[in-house]
Chain A
Amino acid sequence: MNNAFLSIESHPDSLIVNVKGQWIFDEVLALEEAVAGVLPEPGQKVTFKCAGLDNIDIAGAWVLYDCTEQLSVLEIESELVGFKAAHFKFLQHIIDVAAIREYEEPDSEPEPRHLIREKVELFGGAMSTHIEDLGAIARSILDGVRRPSLIIIGETIKQVYYTGVQAIPVVVVITFLIGIVTAHQAAGQLEKFGATVLVVDLVSISITREMGVLLAAVMVAGRSGSAFAASLGVMKLNEEVDAMRVLGLNPNQMLVIPRILGLVIALPVLTIFADIAGIAGGALIAVGSLGISGLQFVERVAFSTDLSDFYVGLVKAPVFALLIAMIGTLRGMQVRFSAEELGLKTTMAVVQSIFMIIVADALFATLFTRMGI
């Protein structure tokens, strides 16, 4: 048998394998196929001769070594002859390294009983760290309230700017558009009953009670919840949080509290902007295409929408803000090891905070209906 890498001569008591060509990394696949063709008869001794070997590297040497190993498992003797020093160096290296390897025992598989116990322990551990983290944050809130420092106030103002002021344009635009959409959809249905003017009622009540605050909160969860988790996570990975702790600073107080406070201030304000923009969107459609005059629109809004509707929306904002900020910062602080975990926790922060916002909104809706507001 002959190919680019081997030529084999069979004698009664020996098999001469002439190794030639390029025994390098790129050819490993072909080399393995070639080596599989070395099939000595029982009793034959295999001799690898380095006849025309051009190049060999670690990968090529390994294929050759692996072949001799497999032959020795079959109790067939093999030897390497006539290798140039430069080429044999690689083979010797592999043989040396392989000697270390044989010395090492493979790990035994853990028993399934232990696996279950490990899982339970892992779950318990995770739960206790969650509770611990939450407790630490709650305690630092108390500490922060008792001894407010200038740094925290400054940082809080910064957070209000990042999470609130910078979010105004996008929140205004989306609620304005949703106002337009709501008005259009309502007009299509209400026109059939000749009650077009009720579009105004529908828009203003739905925006102030539900849509305004909900859209603002979802937007903020996407913007700031992820930002909280990511920035705190990177700080954890860079050991910045540990550095703070060693300097005697409480990272919860320095990092978590300003973000929570900042968002609790920012989201209600954003909600007011959202309400105004949403109603303005409705007004555009009502005045522009439904033939309701501007004065009529204002009158209708004042008639249909109580201040309590507005409060019902607004009162939810700080609660949503608390949820977003707590989940975002908690997830960020939980990042421990890797960049991948950072991504995972950031995703969790956003998904869980939006989920919790909707759950909380449903609870509020039930509560307010019971209360008759």
Chain B
Amino acid sequence: MMETVIEVRDLVNSFGDQVVHDGLCLDVRRDEILGVVGGSGSGKSVLLRSILGLQKPKSGTITVLGQKIEYHQPGPSRCWGVLFQAGALLSGLTVQQNVELPIALHSDMPVETRHELASLKLLMVGLSLSVADKYPSELSGGMKKRVSLARALALEPKILFLDEPTAGLDPIGATAFDELITYLQGNLDLTVVMITHDVDSLFNTCHRIAVLVDGKVKIGTVEEILQSDHPWIKSYFGVPRAQRARLAI
């Protein structure tokens, strides 16, 4: 149960004089939902991009499912799915084609099977099949996120990365999305790494929380993090909206 799927060791990232990560270490366990929080500019996205091999770190090693990540080298793309913040759906393709594309590129299954599997994924994320022939520009923000999630799940990934999945959604949509993530994680044996600023999702969805402070990571369960006396963590969870969210659980 304590198997580590992502291992980040001594990661250093800096832009000019600004040091973002200063010897950051992070372990992500199998089948957990890990929430990543941190102030603006604390390097949440940089961490995600480093893990995905989209950014070259100054130094440090990153291993995902036992495979070392190299900048711009094909990583274990079959084993992970990514939900980008704005969805990043291919705007020239329909919803159905967006979800089918990774399946078509990574397997030789016949068109009907591919089509069926893609439809299945759309239903799994709670979309109606009537959206299948629409283009991303015709969808609402919440639907785009769901389609993007369906695309991330297309290849049966073991790890799911979510970059601010509930940002830009109304509270009802955000709660529904959180429930969907929890449901899928439970049903599909997923490990989820989720960057979020939504304190409700942190408390309700995440098993552990990684806080990026001072270029390093403080990681623990919600309770452990709440007991930390780091000034930034204290003020983060001390603001009224975080207090309310905490009381709600």
Is the Cβ of A25 less than 8 Å from the Cβ of B155? Answer: yes
Complex contact B135–A338 (CB within 8 A): yes
Q: Verify if B110 is at the interface (C-beta below 8 Å from A).
A: yes
A58 at the interface (CB under 8 A from B): yes
Beyond contacts A29-B110, A57-B188: 14 other A-B pairs, Cβ-Cβ < 8 A, are A28-B113, A29-B108, A29-B109, A58-B188, A59-B156, A62-B116, A62-B120, A66-B116, A93-B124, A97-B120, A97-B124, A338-B91, A339-B90, A339-B91
Residue of A at shortest CB range from B155?
A: A25
Residues on B with beta carbons closer than 8 Å to the beta carbon of A365: none
Output the least CB separation between A93 and chain B (Å).
5
Q: How far does the Cβ of B76 sit from chain A's closest Cβ, in whole Å?
A: 14
B43 to chain A, nearest CB (A): 25
* Closest A residue by C-beta to B132: A107
Interface string of A224-260 (1 = CB under 8 A from B): 0000000000000000000000000000000000000
Please, which residues of chain B bring their CB within 8 A of the CB of A32?
Answer: 109-110, 113
Q: Does A24 contact B (CB under 8 A)?
A: yes
Chain A residues whose CB sits within 8 angstroms of the CB of B117 once the complex forms? 28, 58-59, 62
B165 at the interface (CB under 8 A from A): no
In this assembly, does B187 line the interface, its C-beta being within 8 Å of a C-beta of chain A?
yes
Tell me, rounded to whole Å, the shortest Cβ–Cβ distance linking B83 to chain A. 17
Q: How long is the Cα–Cα vector from A47 to B119 in the complex, in angstroms?
A: 27
The reply to whether B91 and A340 form a contact with Cβ atoms under 8 Å apart is yes
Residues in B whose Cβ lies below 8 Å from that of A62? 116-117, 120
Q: Quick one: closest A residue to B138, CB to CB?
A: A337
A26 touches B120 (CB 8 A): no
Of chain B, the residue at the smallest CB distance from A57 is B156
Interface presence of A45 (CB below 8 A):
no
List B residues 65-117 near A (Cβ within 8 Å).
90-92, 107-110, 113, 116-117
A106 to chain B, nearest CB (A): 8
Report A60-96 residues with CB < 8 Å from chain B CB.
62, 66, 86, 89-90, 93-94
- For B186, give the chain A residue with the smallest CB separation: A89
Interface residues of B (CB under 8 A from A): 90-92, 107-110, 113, 116-117, 119-121, 123-124, 128-130, 135-138, 155-156, 187-189
User: Which of A28, A66, A98 lies at the interface centre, i.e. has the most chain B CB atoms within 10 A of its CB?
Assistant: A28
A24 to B188 Cα, complex, angstroms: 13
On chain B, the residues within 8 Å of A89 by CB distance are 187
B163, chain A: closest CB distance, angstroms: 19
Q: Which residues of B contact A104 (CB under 8 A)?
A: 128-130
Verify A93–B92 contact, CB threshold 8 A.
no
> Which B residues are CB-close (under 8 A) to A93?
124, 187-188
Interface contact A107-B187, CB-CB below 8 Å? no
Closest A residue to B125 using CB positions: A97
Between-chain CB contacts (< 8 Å), 19 pairs: A24-B156, A32-B109, A32-B110, A57-B156, A57-B188, A58-B117, A58-B188, A66-B116, A86-B189, A93-B187, A94-B120, A100-B123, A101-B119, A104-B128, A104-B130, A338-B92, A339-B91, A341-B91, A341-B92
Which B residues are in CB contact (< 8 Å) with A98? 123
| Interface size in chain A (residues, C-beta < 8 A) | 28
* Chain B residues positioned under 8 Å from A107 (CB to CB): 130
Docked complex Cα distance between A93 and B189 (Å):
12
Instruction: Judge whether B137 and A336 touch: CB under 8 Å.
Output: yes
Q: A97-B124, A337-B135 are in contact. Are A28 and B109 (CB under 8 A)?
A: yes
A-B CB proximity, top 3 nearest:
A340-B92, A338-B91, A337-B137
Q: In the assembled complex, which residues on chain A have CB atoms less than 8 Å from the CB atom of B91?
A: 337-341
Question: Which chain B positions have C-beta within 8 A of A340?
Answer: 91-92
Closest A residue to B188 by beta carbon equals: A58
Distance between Cα atoms of A62 and B128 in the complex (Å): 18
Contacts of B128 in A (CB 8 A): 104
B36 CB → nearest A CB, Å:
26
Q: How far is the CA of A100 from the CA of B92 in the complex (A)?
A: 28
Cβ–Cβ < 8 Å partners of B121 in chain A: 58
CB closest chain-B residue, reference A97: B123
Contacts of B130 in A (CB 8 A): 104, 107
Q: How far is the CA of A362 from the CA of B15 in the complex (A)?
A: 56
Q: How far is the CA of A104 from the CA of B156 in the complex (A)?
A: 25
Inter-chain CA distance A147–B28, complex, in Å, is 62
Q: Contact between A338 and B156 (Cβ–Cβ < 8 Å)?
A: no
B121 and chain A: residue at smallest CB distance: A58
With a cutoff of 8 Å between Cβ atoms, the chain B residues found around residue A338 in the complex are 91-92, 135-137
Q: Which of B129, B135, B155 makes the CB contact (< 8 A) with A101?
A: B129
Report whether A28 and B107 are in contact in the complex, using a CB–CB cutoff of 8 Å: yes
Q: What CA separation (Å) do A337 and B135 show in the bound complex?
A: 9
Would you call A58 and B137 a contact (CB within 8 A)? no
Contact status of A339 and B92, CB under 8 A, knowing A24-B156, A90-B187, A101-B123:
yes
Interchain CB contact under 8 A, A25 and B156: yes
- Smallest Cβ-Cβ distance to B124: which chain A residue: A97
In contact, B107 and A26 (Cβ under 8 angstroms): yes
Q: Across the interface, which residues of A come within 8 angstroms of B113, CB to CB?
A: 28-29, 32
Minimum distance in angstroms from B108 CB to a CB of chain A:
6
- Does B120 lie within 8 Å of A58, measured CB to CB? yes
How far apart are the CA atoms of A100 and B120 in the complex, in Å? 10
Q: Report the minimal beta-carbon distance from B190 to chain A, rounded to whole angstroms.
A: 11
User: Closest residue to A344 on the B side, CB-wise?
Assistant: B92
Q: Which residue of B lies closest to A28 (CB)?
A: B109
| Contact, CB under 8 Å: B129 / A25 | no
**A32 to B138 CA separation, bound complex (whole angstroms):** 35
